[in-house]
Every structure is written in C-alpha cells, then in structure tokens.
Structure 1
Amino acid sequence: MFSRIALLFLAALASLSYADDARYELGAGDLVNISVYDEKDLSIEVRIGLSGEISYPLLGDIRVAGLSPKELEGKLVEGLKGPYLIDPSVTVTVVEYRPFYITGEVEKPGSYPFHPGLTVDKAISIAGGFTERASKGRIYVQHDGATSSDDSSERISVKLIDVVKPGDVLTVEQSFF
C-alpha cells in the first residue's frame, strides 16, 4: 500500500517538474543536454551562446532562444527525420540555468546561479541580505530580454514572495530613512 502511494507521488512530482520545464524558455547562458536515443554522436551538452543559437551536428547553427525544451525537441526531430534518421527520439533537458543578478542595497551584489522555485526573498538571502539602508518596499525586477537597461518603464515593482526567473536583474533601492 505504502509503495503504491509513493509511486503515485513520484509520478505526480515528475509530471510537475516536466510541466515547469516545458514552459521554460531557453536563453543565452543556459546549458542544455540533447540526447538522441541510440545515437551517441548526436547526443551533446552545449551552452546556448549570446546569439541564442547552438551548433548541432548535421544541422549546423540552430536558433533556440525563446523555445521551450519540448519545442527544441520537436525542432531537432524535424531536422533529423528523413535525411539522417528514420524515427529519431530526442530528449532535451536543462542542466544549468542562466544566472540571475542582484544589485543595489544588498550585502553582496552580483550574479548567482538560478534554481527553480527561487523567490525574491531567497535571492536577497543568497546575496547576503539587506544592507542597513535598504528599502524593503522598493524592490524592482527587469526581466531578461528587456531592450534598454536605462528605461525605468521596464522595471517592475516586486514583493518578497514573487518568483525570480533566470536572467532577471533584481534591484533593491535605498530607503530614505
């Protein structure tokens, strides 16, 4: 009985993490593993370049930024099917997410590795916590892919419980008092 419940729980957990991974958009700096069943030469681990592309055997340079891992799987299957393989089975997984950045009134501003489930308060803790002059109510995020870092209209006010995404830039403003 217990083992059956444990198996159901693990299956549900696996489907949740896969669903999150399927919505995730790949971007420059992500490290992905591409595995093609029974094709060792086509299975690679590659970091997405600043151009948002990867170089893949037989297919050359492929634009992957903005695609989910599932969409990239489909793109690779489409490219390999026919001229190279009869029925390719491709799996794409994110090995390492691009970092997030935190600036302003935190003890150790800089870039840090992203982990799924990261919230603003956890990110601030990773950066050593607030400084004495930090404003806990004036925290902003600029999402990866924004066009201009000087344009304040692209900065969004966030709360401590909000979710951080890979590539996000968090800014903790200074308090007036």
Structure 2
Amino acid sequence: MTAFVTFCFRRATTWALALLLVLGLALPAAAQEPQAPPAAAAAQGAGISVPLGTPLAPGYVLGTGDKLRISVFGEPKLDGEYVVSSTGIVSFPLIGNIPASGQTVEALQESIRSKLAAGYLKDPRVSAEVLNYRPFYILGEINKPGEYPFVNGITVQQAVAMAGGFSYRANTKRVFIKRALDTTERPVQIKGKAVLLMPGDTIRVGERFF
C-alpha cells in the first residue's frame, strides 16, 4: 500500500513539473506578443481611412477654423495666436497674408520663415503649433444637429452623444462621413466599432428603414 502511494505521488509530481515547464515557456512568448495601439484598434475595420496616430502627429493638414500659436525666436512682437480664415489664409505681421489651408503645420512654418528671411529678419527661427482644431459638424437624424468643437481622439459615438443622441428615426448602425478635404461622403458602419473623427469632418445620420 505504501509503495502504491509513493508511486502515485511521484507520478503526480512529474506531471506538475512538466506543466510548470510548459507554462514557463509559453508565458514569455505571450508577454512579447505586440499589442495594437489603442488608436489603431479603434480604427481597425472602420471602413474609412483614419490616422493610426493622433491629429497632433506631424503631417496634419490645416484648414479653415484651425487656431495656431506662432512664435519667432527673439521677436516677441511677432508671437501670437492666429486663426486660419474662411479664405484659408493666416495674416502675419510684416509679411501679410500667408496661404495656410491645405498646408501642413511644418510647411506653413517654413513659408513664414522664408518670407521673414527675405528682407525682414536675419536667420529667423519660427515655430508653429495647433492650439484648437477646426470644429466638426453633425446633421441628419440627430436631436441637436450643428457645429461642435473637435476634441482629440473623439469618436462618432461620442459626437452623437454631444449632439443629444439619435432621433427615433435614425439608422444607428451606419452614418455617412465627409472628410474636410474630400469632395464626397462615404458610408461607415459604426455598430460595435469606435470610429475616430478628424477636424472638419461632417457626419450625416440617415433614416433607418422600418
């Protein structure tokens, strides 16, 4: 009887050690498995092209309504906050109107620098950053259609909540989104998906078919 108990104990110990060995090999591999960034996960399968980073990333294209802070090193009188006008320009001291809509922040920064260097300042150093992004718009079957301030990382679902929610006739599974620089809108499935917005987007909520 004692020999049988000893045999069972040794057999159980062997299985336990084998299990621990397998788990010890599997856990490091799982820990090294790359995880998708939150923004990428939210955008995946949304049906439209959205940036994997945030709108703060380099390459953001300016548009009407964007508010900028522009600074020139050593020239405090030129430092200030500037808004891209309805005609797509920024009015800057000394050099006048500078085309901004459709330009990246970096391109606008370089444009201002080069114009200041052309007879106004010696080797100017210019920096520009976006303070407030242009608003987004939501219309159609929504309780409070209109213009709303853009918040970095906002989703369609959050925009709907800001606008008072869907009307009783609304199609809650799909909306239409027109990007600021696009000429047409595109249908986007939103059920079960966190679809990210960009500054200047127009969201149209259609009717559902009863």
TM-score w.r.t. length of structure 2: 0.68
1:64 aligns with 2:97: no
2:110 to 57, 67, 74: 74
Distance 1:89 1:114 in 2: 30
Distance 1:85 1:169 in 2: 41
1:139 to 156, 175, 180: 175
RMSD over aligned CA atoms reads 2.1
Give 1:5's aligned residue: none
Distance 1:82 1:41 in 2: 18
Displacement of 1:26 in angstroms is: 0.7
For residues 147-169 of structure 1, give each alpha carbon's deviation from its aligned partner in whole angstroms, at most 9, with x where no partner exists: 5xxxxxx1201233222111111
1:99 to 127, 135, 138: 135
From the superposition, tell whether residues 17 and 169 of structure 1 become closer, same or farther in structure 2 (CA, over 3 Å): closer
TM alignment of 1:30-41, pairs within 5 A = 30-41=66-77
Distance 1:65 1:38 in 2: 27
Displacement of 1:130 in angstroms is: 1.5
Distance 2:57 2:82 in 1: 17
Q: 1:31, 1:47 within 8 Å by CA — same for their partners in 2?
A: yes
1:169 aligns with 2:199: no
Distance 2:118 2:90 in 1: 21
1:25 to 61, 64, 67: 61
- The SS at the match of 1:22 is coil
Distance 1:48 1:54 in 2: 5
Query: 2:207 is aligned with what amino acid?
Result: Q
Q: Which runs of 4+ in 1 moved over 3 A?
A: 16-21
Give 2:153's aligned residue: 117
Q: 2:54, 2:152 within 8 Å by CA — same for their partners in 1?
A: no
Structure 1 or 2: larger strand share? Answer: 1
Displacement of 1:52 in angstroms is: 0.4
How many residue pairs end up in the alignment?
A: 156
From the superposition, tell whether residues 19 and 49 of structure 1 become closer, same or farther in structure 2 (CA, over 3 Å): closer
Query: 1:162 is aligned with what amino acid?
Result: V
1:54 to 90, 93, 115: 90
> Structure 1: where are the runs of 5+ without partners?
1-15, 148-153
% identical aligned pairs: 38
From the superposition, tell whether residues 19 and 174 of structure 1 become closer, same or farther in structure 2 (CA, over 3 Å): closer
Displacement of 1:40 in angstroms is: 1.1
Which range moves more in the overlay, 131-140 or 25-34? 131-140
1:84 to 73, 98, 120: 120
Displacement of 1:145 in angstroms is: 4.0
Q: 1:120, 1:159 within 8 Å by CA — same for their partners in 2?
A: no
Query: 2:188 is aligned with what amino acid?
Result: V
Distance 1:146 1:18 in 2: 19
Q: 1:143, 1:168 within 8 Å by CA — same for their partners in 2?
A: yes
